[in-house]
Chains A and B, each alone.
Chain A
Amino acid sequence: ETGVTQTPRHLVMGMTNKKSLKCEQHLGHNAMYWYKQSAKKPLELMFVYSLEERVENNSVPSRFSPECPNSSHLFLHLHTLQPEDSALYLCASSQQLIGTEFPSVFGPGTRLTVT
């Protein structure tokens, strides 16, 4: 157990479904992230919530929408996905301080398959 948990671990959904991925961190960190890992591609940062600021990768389609109700919880809402969205979705958290660097701690990931 790394201190960052993700549910579900595996998800199969049709293109018309709506589902949500959940991430929870128990480390007292102040920043949370969603990454997408597709086969044979580098990890791609999708969204960052940090110090009440949200940063998003402009290439992420609107069918992905994040929600961060507090510093410990992060959701990724999915709707009308495409087969190419099948990937491993990794959540991470870190402690961010100005001028200081701390490593991100990752969760185990959700393996998503879109049929």
Chain B
Amino acid sequence: QKEVEQDPGPLSVPEGAIVSLNCTYSNSAFQYFMWYRQYSRKGPELLMYTYSSGNKEDGRFTAQVDKSSKYISLFIRDSQPSDSATYLCAAGGTSYGKLTFGQGTILTVHP
């Protein structure tokens, strides 16, 4: 079993929908949690990060971490076609670049 599990989808939604992306993890030592967006044939780019449990909001994006259930979520409000990409969750400890990634979820937002 991978330490970070993510449903690969694919997920297809209409423009304007609320998107919910989810991951679970098994390693209690993970302290911070990241979401990356990756467009086709590009490198991942950091979208959101959260330290420990709680919520973090940035524009249309909200990241949630529930350490008691080991659950990581990303919500996208008012989704746009430009949000179509692969979304990767990741978790790590004190070494910021030493991360364990989920498999990635392919999201398509159609007009």
- Do A and B form a real pair? no
Listed in ascending order, the chain B residues whose CB lies under 8 Å from chain A are none
